[in-house]
Amino acid sequence: MDTTAPENRGNARFAMIRNLGLLGVGQVLTKGIAFIALAALARRLSRSDYGAVEYALGLSSFAWLIIDGGLGAVGVRRLSQRVASAGELAAQIPVAQLILALCVAPAMFLLAAFSAHDRTALYLVAAMSLSVLLLPFKQDWLFQARGQMSHVVASQVIRTGVFMLIVVFAVWGDANTQLVGVAEIISVASTTGYLLLMQHLLVTPARLSFSRDALIGLAREGLPIGAGAICWAATQFVPLFVLTPLAGMEQTAYFGAAHRLGVSLVTFSWIYHFNLFPVIARRIHSGGAHDDSLLRLSIRITGWGGIGLALALSLAAPRMLPLLFGPGFYRASIPFIILVWTFPLTLLSGHARWLLVAAEHAGDMLKSQALGVVTALVASAAFIPLLGAKGAAAAMTLACVAVWLSSQFLADRRGRHVPFKPCVAPMVAAAVVLSAARLTAMANPWLEAAVGSIAFAALGLIFDSSLREDLLWLAGRQRNVPALT
Intervals of the chain under pLDDT 70: 1-21, 23-24, 81, 83, 274-275, 277-279, 281-292, 441-442, 468-485
Task: Report pLDDT for 278.
Answer: 65
DSSP 443: S
DSSP type of residue 328? G
Burial level of 465, CB count in 10 A (0-12/13-18/19+)? Answer: exposed
Cβ contacts of residue 175 below 8 Å, gap of 6+?
none
Closest C-alpha among 33, 261, 50 to residue 166 = 33
Residues ≥6 apart with Cβ < 8 Å to 463: 425, 429
CA angle 315–424–263, rounded 5-degree value: 45
Beta-strand ranges (E) seen in 334-441 are none
Q: What is the pLDDT of residues 103-159, one digit of tens each?
A: 999 999 999 988 888 889 999 999 999 999 999 999 888 887 777 778 888 898 999
pLDDT of residue 477: 47
pLDDT at 447: 86
Q: Which of 371, 484, 417 has its CA nearest to residue 11?
A: 484
Q: Are 72 and 96 in contact (CB under 8 A)?
A: no
CA distance 290 to 271: 24
Residue 148 CB partners (closer than 8 Å, separation 6+): 202
In DSSP notation, 253-317 reads: HHHHHHHHHHHHHHHHHHHHHHHHHHHHHHHHHTTPPP--HHHHHHHHHHHHHHHHHHHHHHHHH
3-state secondary structure string across 394-407 = HHHHHHHHHHHHHH
Given this model, what pLDDT does residue 226 score?
78
**HSE toward the beta carbon, residue 119, CA cutoff 13 A:** 2
Model pLDDT, residue 475: 54
